Amino acid sequence: MKLRSLLDSLIVKGVAGLEDQVIEGIYYDSRNVRPGGLFVAVPGFQADGHAFIVDAVQRGAAAIVTEKSWVAPSSVSVVEVENARRALAALSAAFYGEPSRELFVIGITGTNGKTTTAYLVESILSAAGFDVGVIGTINYRFGGQTFVNPVTTPESLDLTRILRQMVDKGVTHAVLEVSSHALDLDRVAFCDFDVGVFTNLSRDHLDYHGDMEVYWQCKRRLFLEYLGLGSKQIQAAAVVNWDDSKGRELASEVGVRCLRVGLSEGCQIRAEHPRVTIGGASATVKTPKGAFDFSSPLIGRHNVYNVLAATGVAAAMGLPVAAIKKGIESLKGVPGRLEPVANEAGIYVFVDYAHTPDALENVLTALKELTSGRLIAIFGCGGDRDRDKRPMMGASAGRLCDLCLLTSDNPRTESPEAILLDILAGMARVQDRRYEPIELVKGFDRPGYVVEPGRRRAIALGIGASRCGDTVLIAGKGHETYQIMGGRVLAFDDRVEARKILGKLSLATEK
């Protein structure tokens, strides 16, 4: 594609050099640049792309897009723009032929529930006979293949490339988890959405956004800037959790058809008589096209809301009730989302991604209502992230659990002990009994907590202190198969560690 054609998608401050060069590819990482490529110098969090322009030119870049003036060799064109990130999104859409316009695109945003809702939507659409692709926190997948996804919503270039691959493979519907970072950093700019889903809003990512208002304003952008653009305006719809206060606010603002979902009166998609057990959830769902009963292995009241959100998407598309019911009941679980760890010891062990105060409280509340024994939680907080949420999570867990094991999550460059002190500030307000790890060898006789920085050891202590009928939640990392400590990424999977300990318990029981 000629540079001149690509520049039609941009508002440029100036162009130096030839505009009839053929661009073979677009890059934002200089290490990937190939001859004939266009390198976009994007300012990053840890490094500024402008520092790598020379490297990109040495690797054969034919053109550079920059926010700063730069004198290039005569063979290299330089395009100066106001916002390199937004330019990257515009150039990517133009280079790959605007694939979002060839797909039915569903964007899901909110603090909690995005991943499970995406899995439910995928299952419903598959049951209805569509070819579905998904881009989300756990992975991206389409055409029977699954790929590693390092972030919830990829950079605009990668996102557009994946969407083009989906189109070329025959995908008709794409389901995207849309993070607040992605909205703030223009990763979904020039991506046209048919349906937008708002799940809820609670505290998260304040290390990045600064405060809840800024965080909220980012979430709103999906609905007010990207939903229903161009030819998609007529069919576009917003699916909004009406039981969430920000959902009600959003519903009054959207300029497209809005479907309200929830448990309260006034919802067009509403669950009646919800029933939640340790084996799953069930309810009657009322929709504009009729009612249906569902039974799902997904546990917790929060998953009833996820089912309603997915149903809202299907209703916005006019799908038959039978397909909606089939899709919901076909989904047997979501990796790392209250994922059970099977065992023969009679202990209910779950691994969950809950890493925000609201998510942890929701999951613990759900399990506390369902367990016949004691509730044990093993969790920590991520390093280099919002410190203020740590005591909040400590207080919630201390209030709801019989035993809490405070441990490391992904400490990153922070001291694990310093993170634990922050959690303890909240824990100590509601729990006054601190056990030493050695004391748990004989179990525990009253509610309390243990501090054990080593996550493997904490999991062993928590499961070891449990007995038949107890429920153990290992929270924070969910589907993750690694632990980030300092500059190292170490292999670590909560589910694997739990199975090891439970296997030893089963062997001991047999003996």
Domain ranges of the chain: 3-95, 99-330, 339-510
Most confident residue range from 17-26, 70-79, 169-178, 199-208: 169-178
Arch. (CATH architecture) of 99-330 = 3-Layer(aba) Sandwich (3.40)
Across the range 189-196, mean pLDDT stands at: 97
The rounded distance, in Å, linking the Cα atoms of 499 and 496 is 5
pLDDT at 511: 52
CB neighbour list of residue 42: distance below 8 Å, 6 or more residues apart: 28, 49, 84, 85, 88
pLDDT for position 504: 83
CB burial of 18-48 (b: ≥16 within 10 Å; e: otherwise) equals eeebebebbbbbbeebeeebbbbbbeeeeee
Token pair in block for residue 421: 């002190």
486 pLDDT tier (thresholds 50, 70, 90): very high
Residue 321 predicted with pLDDT over 60? yes
The reported pTM is 0.94
Per residue in 13-57, pLDDT tens?
Answer: 999 988 999 999 999 999 999 999 999 999 988 889 999 999 999
Q: Calculate mean pLDDT across residues 51-67.
A: 97
pLDDT at position 509, please?
A: 58
| pLDDT band at residue 505 using 50, 70 and 90 as cut-offs | confident
Decide: 62 and 77 in contact? Cβ < 8 Å: yes
pLDDT higher than 90, residue 233 = no
| CATH of 3-95 given 3.40.1390.10, 3.40.50.300, 3.30.499.10, 3.40.190.170 | 3.40.1390.10
Beta bridge partners of 108: 177, 197
What's the confidence (pLDDT) of residue 487? 87
The closest alpha carbon to 113, from 245, 259, 305, 243, belongs to 305
Task: Look up tokens 């800024």; give the residue.
Answer: 214
Average pLDDT over residues 447-458: 98
Average model confidence (pLDDT) for the chain? 95
Check: CB of residue 239 under 8 Å from CB of residue 286. no
pLDDT of residue 510: 54
Residue 46 has what pLDDT?
A: 83
Decide if pLDDT at 98 tops 70.
Answer: yes
Please count the CA atoms within 13 angstroms of the CA of 254 that sit on its side-chain side: 30
pLDDT at 506: 64
% of residues, the chain, pLDDT over 70: 99
What is the reported pLDDT for 507?
59
Mean predicted confidence (pLDDT) in 471-491: 96
Q: Domain spanning 339-510: which CATH class is it, in words?
A: alpha beta
The per-residue pLDDT for range 158-185, each reduced to its tens digit, is 999 999 999 999 999 999 999 999 999 9
- Residue 157: burial class (beta carbons within 10 Å; 0-12, 13-18, 19+): buried
What is the percentage of the chain residues whose pLDDT exceeds 90? 91
Report the alpha-carbon distance of residue 67 to residue 84 in Å, rounded: 6
- Average the pLDDT over each of 63-72, 90-99, 206-215 and give the range with the smallest value: 206-215
